[in-house]
Amino acid sequence: MKKTVFLTGATGNMGRAGFKELYDRKDRFNIRILARRSRKNEKLLKPYLSDPSVEIVWGDLTHYDDVLAGVTGADYVLHVGGMVSPKADFYPEKTLKVNVAAAKNIAAAVLAQPDQDRIKVVYIGSVAQCGDRMPPMHWGRAGDPAYASAFDMYAVSKCEAERIIMDSGISKWVSLRQTGILYPGIFMQISPTMFHVPVRGVLEWATIEDSGRLLANVCEDWVPDEFWNRIYNISSGEQYRMTNYEFESRLLAPLGIRSIERVFEPQWFATRNFHGMWYTDADVLEDYLHFRENVPVDEYFRRLNSRLPWYFSLARFVPASLIKAFLKPLAYKKDLGTQSWIKDDPEKLAAYYSSEEEYRSIRSWEQLRPPYMEKNLEKARATGAVRVLDHGYDTSKPVHELSVEELEKAAAFRGGRFLGPEESIGTKGTVFEWECEKGHRFKASLEYVLLGGGWCPECNSSNAEKMSTGKNRFISQVLSSRYRE
């Protein structure tokens, strides 16, 4: 019997790739899509309007009835949709509103079903939830501190939306935290936010093809029950680990520019306050879902380059100085441009450069060029380059087997308190009460706090950099490697 998959975000990059993979398996799946009605989306989805295996619900994620229409009768809910960068950078408050409302509607619609325990919900989280993980703290895993970098409302929205799904009472859920996605259109993503990314930082990328295959594979019968109710990091593996300097260089290669230093000034790039890390645990997801094509990264970039519009080849004849002149206004664009903060926004300058003094001390690329960093996990471990964070409890034990004393110790490690109820310990799906070091009380499950690394929503929504006074030893492991206010 065919299963029904409800997919949100099917007109976006990852969602569209997932739709194509599911469509190739339409002998096993009926696909239901929620899409905003627009001329662009109508044109994109027109070929499927008469296909009995595809149902299109024209609507909005923030409208409950539209979401309910998509969820009703579904076996799987793949919640990919929402506001993402670069749009999220221009409309931060709207991003928070849309992404949180969408998660609430998904959860409510699933719980409204008479057979709710049968429905499996896949939430696509984000690497942005890991906050700023600059070297030497650039290796990480699920369960590490989940917090937003300063001024990153998108990350705030993803942390909150993830908590809503996980703690809603849905019987079977999973959160897959997506990293940066490589797709042909990435060469066109030119905006002021490109300079928010420190060139010394890192990211472990995923290809668009792997991301689509993952969405389809998670709906297959062979996925074991033990896979659910956990958090995983998505990536295409070891060879897709890059420093941001290396990634920028790969983007410029089709233009005939061998060095980013020819077209950028070093001061244009922030030196901190942006997410990204290499994973010690991304292979766990591959072991379950077998979604990686394992294309060598150089070959993959050759494929991307071959799909670029013909006029990209003309850039080889444009002097680097002219390209630099074209990019400069982006760095100085009001509000989002890093150079506009020098006069207009000292708070952002401090967040992204630590201080005006540090910003003005940047005089050459030699100061920013990343050193060699071993990408192979085992070799990096052998040299002591992998710093595994303490999670404040015995991670070898299932979280629902921890005692009240162990939970109190885990909360104290985070600078706060575990408030119970004690009698519910051991019961899966229970939402407990906690208190952070600032005295804020909040409710969250063991899965969100311990498996996901989440903590106080109020602190995270204000400024994660200030959520620790030193009592929160959990997040201090990350912050102390850079600077403390």
pLDDT for the residue numbered 429: 84
Using the predicted structure, report yes or no on whether residue 280 has a pLDDT greater than 60: yes
Whether the pLDDT of residue 303 is over 60: the answer is: yes
Give CA–CA dist 455/366, Å, rounded. 38
At residue 365, does pLDDT exceed 50? yes
Averaged pLDDT score across all residues of the chain: 94
pLDDT at 466: 56
pLDDT at 463 (0 to 100):
54
Q: What's the mean pLDDT in 144-166?
A: 95
B/e letters for 421-454, b = 16+ CB within 10 Å, e = fewer, are eeeebeeebbbbebbbbbebebebbbbbbbbbbb
CA angle centred on 361, ends 357 and 362, rounded to 5°: 130
CATH tag for 3-181+202-236+280-293 (out of 3.40.50.720, 3.40.50.300, 3.30.413.10, 1.10.10.1100) = 3.40.50.720
In terms of Cα–Cα distance, which of 353, 370, 371 is closest to 362?
353
pLDDT digit string (tens) for 77-95? Answer: 999 999 988 888 899 999 9
Range 180-201 average pLDDT: 91
Whole-model pTM? 0.95
pLDDT for 60 equals 97
What pLDDT band is residue 484 in, cutting at 50, 70 and 90?
very low
The domain segmentation of the chain, as residue ranges, is: 3-181+202-236+280-293, 399-452+455-479
Lowest mean pLDDT among 273-277, 309-313, 394-398, 453-457: 309-313
pLDDT band for position 481 (cuts 50, 70, 90) = low
The residue type of 306 is S
